[in-house]
Every structure is written in C-alpha cells, then in structure tokens.
Amino acid sequence: MAAVLESTARALLRRVAIEQAEARMPSLAAMVIRDGRQAWFGARGTVEGAAPTTATQYRIGSITKTLVAVQVMRLRDEGLVDLNDPLSKHVPATPVGDVTIAQLLSHTAGLTAEPPGPWWERTPGVEIDALAATLDSHSARHRPGRRFHYSNLGFALLGELIARHRGVGWAEAVRSEILEPLGMGGTTTRPREPHARGYAVHPWADVLMPEPEHDAVAMAPAGQLWSTPADLARWAAFLSAGEEKVLRAATLAEMREPAIVEDGDMWNVGHGLGVQLFRHRGRRLTGHGGSMPGFLAVVWADPADRVGVLCMANATSGLRASIATDLLDILDTHEPPIPREWAPTPADAGMLELTGPWYWGPTAYLLRLLPGRDVSLTPTGSPGRASRFTAQADGTWLGLDGYYTGETLRLIRRADGSISHLDLNTFVFTREPYDPAAPVPGGVEESGWR
C-alpha cells in the first residue's frame, strides 16, 4: 500500500510535534507501518544539530526482551528447551532455579524486578557468575505463577540460557539468527553513529543533563540494544506478520497469547511470552515499551490488519504512553481500512454436507467451511463456545482457539455412511436438538419434546 495521504501525514506530524513540545523531548522520531512497510515517518527536535532520520540510533531498552524471547522460542522449537523446564535444568547453581522458562518469559516467576547492587541501568555491568553470586532466597518476591511481577533479572537469566545452548553470547545468537535474516543491520549492542545522546530534562527548567551509558554485561538481555526507526519498523512487521525463516507462525501466535493479565473487570494490559499485550479501541496490540536512562521507546503491532507504530526519544522520562496509540487512531480516522474483496474459495465437495446447523443439546451452532478443510463452529444467537478447527491427516480436526483449543473434533458416521453426529471431546453435536437417533450421553426422553 502507498504512503499515507498528505492530510494524514500532516495530522500525524502535528501529533508528534505536540508531544515533542509539550513533553519537552530533545528529539522524537515516529513511524507508522502498514502491510509490513513504512507508511509514514516524522521527527521533531535535533540529534547533534540535525533532524533525526530513519537511520538514527536510539537505545530501545526493554524492547530488547522481545528479541531475547524469540531466541528462546527458537530453542524450544528445536527441542532444546521445554517451556515447563525449571531454569536449573539449563542454568544450574542459582538459588532461583525452580522457576520455569515460561514463567521467566511471562514475568510470572515472582523474581525481584531489579538485581541486587547499585542501579544496574546507570552503572557498569558484571558477568553472569558475579550476578548469580548476589542472588539468594530473597530474590524471589512472590510464589512462582501467582501473579505478574516484571523482572529485568529474569531476562538476564534467559540470556545466559541462550548462551549455554548456542555456545556464543545471547547478542551474537540474536544477531545471526534474528537481526540478519530480518535485515536489521542498524541494531547493535552499543551505539554507532549517527546516534542520539541520552538526556535527562530538568523538571522545572528547559535544560539538559547527559545520562551515562554502560555495557550492562549480564543484565544486557533486559535492555541493552540500540536500534533505528527503520529497523524497529522491520521488527513491528515481524511481530504482526511473522517470518518463517526466523520463527514458525504458530510459535509467534503462541507468544502473543495472554499468559497473564492485569486484574480488573476487563483486561486491557497483559503479557504473553516475552511480549506486552494491549487492547485499544478494538485492536489487540503486541509489542513492548522500553526505557533506559536518557531514552524511551515503544513499538506496537496489530496482527489483525498488519499495521504498526513506533516512537523513539532521547529523554529519561516525560513521553506520554498515548502517543503511539494516538498515531494509530489518526490513521484510522483519516484512512480507515477497506475490507478485502470477498472471493469464492474452492471447497472439498465432501465437506459441504457438514455445513449448517448443529445442536449441542438445545443450543444451536453453525458450522462453516474455512480455507482448506478447516472449519469453524459458532453458537447462533445465544452464548456459547466458538472455536476454529484445523484439519488433521487422520480425518479429525484440532481446535485452534477458544474453549476447545487443542481438543479434537470427530465426525461420526453410521454403518451406511450417513452422518450420525459430531464428537467434540465427549460433547455430542447432532443435526437436531437432542436427536433421539444419535447417541446423546444420558439418553433422550422417549416422549420427546412436549
């Protein structure tokens, strides 16, 4: 799709200009991604006397964690790691080895947010052995699995897990297996020119103070990377549409599933396996925020319609969280998405007889064909459990989402070949409510409906 319209571009730039001026950012760069490509880029402020470009590096902080998480999932897909494995199986001799890999990825391991010692983001880092030596029984703040508790320490341990399996540091593994295949050559562990310098902005005066920048060493997997708007756009495109040479589509979808959500009447913020999740005006966004002394960044992607947004600034604080979603809202207002054209899809003729109404007891469901031999089973006009199912080689279907995720749907035929019923993990679906000719569990009252 072409770049945004001129009127859209002006509205986007105006929002960025307001943020840079009101939040007092030394520089602010933003980009909107559509269909995996840059649709708009805008920047305000200066970096070393010039306007930021798509090649200007900023530190991306905890967005680093999303790349580390993808690398861990690559290990899982290769059979080297199981998400239910305790950390001690891969990184022995730590006092927190009973937490699982999945809990570390989803920040449900209960570990302390920060490592012991001085503020790690502003001081030179230490090697993993020295870091591990500072841990003790008090490094766990909550029972594993009990609640969400963000932990930078947890991702330091995941970085060491990667190193032990790959025989190289986590950063080298990420570079060769993720960054290079995605063409993210502008993403590095230490800054390279042209790059923004990190600043703190005085709260009551328009003056700056440079922030320190060090190699975090063992803590680096929690927030070491520097990147550019162009590279972060490629990462947003990956989070929304994937890239099979980096990670299987099913694995990326697994990472985007909510592992934990913030408690409330309705969740808006949650966490998957290494990625943050956010609901905004009907969108289910995947991405991450990042902050380090002198830098703020955020990247969000919407897999449903393949749009994304990113913002990068060189200030310690002040950037409003709404800036990214405001840019998406402007895009929706000025250029609402146009639905894809409907076109007929070839279907297996033998599958057509399965379509139409089915009944689980008295509850009506509708079975529709999806591309290939996949199907959906959805309640009609009443509450119920909707799921999609993908065809298996043995003639059954496997649940993809909802209540029936991972469960098996079977078509049962009579001896004469006619359809008897559907069996969905012991639930019987019949062509009419409580069909007396089908083996409904518990039987059907002989006198029937009355």
pLDDT of the residue at 264: 67
Residues 84 and 273: their CA atoms lie apart, in Å, by 13
Residues 86 and 258: their CA atoms lie apart, in Å, by 21
Half-sphere exposure of 318 (CA within 13 A, CB side): 25
pLDDT of the residue at 349: 79
pLDDT of the residue at 404: 94
Going from N- to C-terminal start, the domains of the chain cover 6-334, 349-430
pLDDT of the residue at 2: 66
pLDDT of the residue at 263: 67
Closest of 104, 387, 401, 150 to residue 269, by C-alpha: 150
Residues 245 and 283: their CA atoms lie apart, in Å, by 27
pLDDT of the residue at 346: 81
Residues 173 and 72: their CA atoms lie apart, in Å, by 10
Residues 285 and 283: their CA atoms lie apart, in Å, by 6
**CB neighbour list of residue 91: distance below 8 Å, 6 or more residues apart:** 97, 157, 160, 161, 164
Residues 343 and 142: their CA atoms lie apart, in Å, by 53
Residue with tokens 């649709």: 39
Q: Looking at 63-142, which runs of residues are DSSP E strands?
A: none
Residues 399 and 407: their CA atoms lie apart, in Å, by 5
Do strands 37-45 and 27-34 pair parallel, antiparallel, or not at all (unpaired)?
antiparallel
pLDDT of the residue at 356: 95
pLDDT of the residue at 307: 95
Residue with tokens 């899982």: 76
Pick the CATH number of 6-334 from 3.40.50.800, 1.10.132.20, 3.40.50.300, 3.40.710.10: 3.40.710.10
Low-confidence ranges of the chain (pLDDT < 70): 1-2, 263-264
Closest of 29, 16, 22, 23 to residue 313, by C-alpha: 29
Decide if 284 contacts 9 (C-beta within 8 A): no
- Spell out the SS3 assignment of 22-39: HCCCCEEEEEEEECCEEE
